[in-house]
Structure 1
Amino acid sequence: MIRWLLAILGYSFFRFPGAIIGFILGSIFDNMNLGKTKSTRRTIFQQPRESVSPADFELNLLSLASLVIKADGTVSQNELDYVRQYFVQAYGKERANATFKVFNEVVKKREISAQKIGGLLRSRMRYESRLQMIHFLFSIAQADGTVSTPEVNEISRIAGYLGIQMRDFESIKAMFFKNPDSAYKILEIERTASVSEIKKAYREMVKKYHPDKLQGMDEMYKKGALEKFQKVQEAYEQLQKERGF
C-alpha cells in the first residue's frame, strides 16, 4: 500500500507530522489506483458474451447446419431450402448469397470441426443463444418431415461441444417428437411431478426461454426463440388439461 510507504518515509524525515502527511497523500494515490482497477475489472468482466462477429457467426451456423443435413447420409433438398430461406429472411438475399459463396469456396473445402466451432461459440455466446442454435438445428432436421436418429445424434454431439446441459437438450428435442411424455420433457420434469412442481417448472422455463434473452440477435433468430417459447406454453396448457388445474 502506497499510504504506508509514504507514511514511513514522512516519519523518517519529519517525524509524526511527516508520517501523517505521507499517509494522507498515500491514501489519495491508493484510491486513484483502486478506481482504475475497478474500471479495468468492469471492462474485462462486464463485456457482453455476444462477441462473435456477424460474418463469423453466419459461417459457423451454416457449417453446423451442413453437418446436420449430411448426418443421415442423404442431402435433403427440403433441408437445404430451409437453411437458404432462413438466411435470406434473416440477412437479405445479397448477404445470404455472399455467405453461401464464402462457405462453398473456403469453408466447405475443409473438414468442418464441430468441436472447434462449438468451443469458439461456447466461449463467446450466451447460453440462451446456444440453446436457440440447437432448436434451429432440429428445425433443419425436421424440414424433410422427420428427424432421423443420425440427425439427433449429430445435434447431440454439437450440443455437447456447445456446453448445452443434457436436460436442456432433451427439452428442446421433445419439442420435435410427439409422445405421451413430451410435455413433461419440455418442462424438464418427471411424469410423477406434482401440480406445484409443474407450475414451478413452467415459471423457470419461461424465464429461460423468453425471447428477450436473445438481445443483439437477428429477428429470425428471435422468431425461432418465440416458437420454442410457445412450445413451453403449449406443454404447460396440455398438462393443465390433463391434470385439471
Structure 2
Amino acid sequence: MIKWFAAILGYMFFRLPGAVLGFILGSLLDATKIKTSGGFKTVFSQEPQVTPADFELNLLSLSSIVIKADGRVNQTELDYVRRYFVSAYGKERANATFRTFNEIIKNRHVSAQRVCMYINQHTRYPSRLQILHFLFGIANADGAVSISEAEEIQKIAGFLRINFKDFESIKAMFFKTGDHAYKILEIDKTATDAEVKKAFRTMAKKYHPDKVQHMDEIHIKGAEAKFREVQKAYDQIKKERGIV
C-alpha cells in the first residue's frame, strides 16, 4: 500500500511528523487508485475508471426518474428494469443492486443533471445513446410511452449531451407516427431517394452493434435492436417509394 511506504519514507527523513504526513499523503494516493471489476471496466472510455456499482447506481437513478415521470410507480416498468439488470449482471448481483433501487424509488430528490454529468465523464457517446434507448424501453414497458415520460427522457437526453436529431431518431422507434421511419433515419419526407439511401448508410454505421462492443452483452443486444429499427425504417420507405 502506498500509504505505508510513504509513512516509512517520511519517518526516515523527518521522524514521527514525517511518518504522519507520509501516511496522510499516501492514503490520498491510495484513494485515487483505479478500481475495476471483471469485464465491466471496458464500459468506460475515459479515466478515471469506476466500480460497476457506480455505473449501476447512476443508471438506476435515471430509471427511477422515468418510472416516476407520470406520477405513479408502474410494476411492469419495475419488472422491465429488473429483467434488464438480471440479463446484464446476473440474478445475485441484480438482487443486491435492487435493494438500493427501492430506496432510490422513494427518493424524490434524484438530480438528473448531476447523474448525467457523472455518466458523461465516463462513457462514450454511443453508450449514452444506448442508455437513452434503455430509458425509452422502460417507459414503453406498459405498452406506450406517455407524454410526461417522453418529456422527462428528453430532459435527460439534454443532460447527456445527445443531439436533438439522435433523440428524435430513438424516440421514433417507440412512437409509430406517419413519418416515424423518416425520423429514425433523421431525414424529412421530402428527401430524395439518393438522400434516403445515404441516410440509411449513415444511421446503420451510427447504430451498428460494433459501436458498443466494449459494453456488456445486454447493451450489445440493445444496439442490435436499434440497428433492426433502422433497417425496418429503411425497408418501409423503400416499399412506399418503390426504391430498388
- Verify same fold: TM over 0.5: yes
Quick one: which of 139, 158, 175 aligns to 1:160?
158
User: Which segments of 5 or more consecutive residues in structure 1 lack a partner in the other structure?
Assistant: 1-46
Distance 1:235 1:226 in 2: 14
Q: Is the partner of 1:143 in helix, strand or coil?
A: helix
1:138 counterpart = 2:136: yes
Q: Which residue of 1 aligns with 2:61?
A: 63
Q: CA deviation at 1:109?
A: 4.4
Q: CA deviation at 1:216?
A: 2.1
Q: CA deviation at 1:179?
A: 1.4
Quick one: which of 166, 175, 194 aligns to 1:196?
194
1:91 counterpart = 2:56: no
- Tell me the amino acid that sits aligned with residue 219 of structure 1: E
User: Which segments of 5 or more consecutive residues in structure 2 lack a partner in the other structure?
Assistant: 1-43
Q: Which residue of 1 aligns with 2:46?
A: 49
Q: Which residue of 1 aligns with 2:77?
A: 79
Cα pair distance change 1:106/1:147, threshold 3 Å: closer
TM-score, length basis structure 2: 0.78
Distance 1:216 1:88 in 2: 19
Q: Is the partner of 2:142 in helix, strand or coil?
A: coil
Native 8 Å contact 2:69 2:152 kept in 1: yes
Distance 1:109 1:74 in 2: 13
1:121 counterpart = 2:119: yes
Percent identical pairs in the alignment equals 64
Q: CA deviation at 1:110?
A: 7.1
Q: Which residue of 2 aligns with 1:38?
A: none
Native 8 Å contact 1:52 1:125 kept in 2: no
Native 8 Å contact 2:207 2:226 kept in 1: yes
Alignment of 1:18-57 (within 5 A): 48-49=45-46, 51-57=49-55
- Tell me the amino acid that sits aligned with residue 204 of structure 1: T
Q: CA deviation at 1:229?
A: 0.6
TM-score, length basis structure 1: 0.77
- Tell me the amino acid that sits aligned with residue 101 of structure 2: F
Q: Is the partner of 1:179 in helix, strand or coil?
A: coil
Q: CA deviation at 1:108?
A: 5.3
Distance 2:143 2:126 in 1: 26
- Tell me the amino acid that sits aligned with residue 196 of structure 1: A
Q: Is the partner of 2:175 in helix, strand or coil?
A: coil
- Tell me the amino acid that sits aligned with residue 185 of structure 1: K
Distance 2:125 2:78 in 1: 26
Which one has the largest radius of gyration? 1
Distance 1:121 1:244 in 2: 43
Cα pair distance change 1:184/1:94, threshold 3 Å: same
- Tell me the amino acid that sits aligned with residue 188 of structure 1: E
Native 8 Å contact 1:79 1:140 kept in 2: yes
Task: Give the number of equivalent residue pairs.
Answer: 199
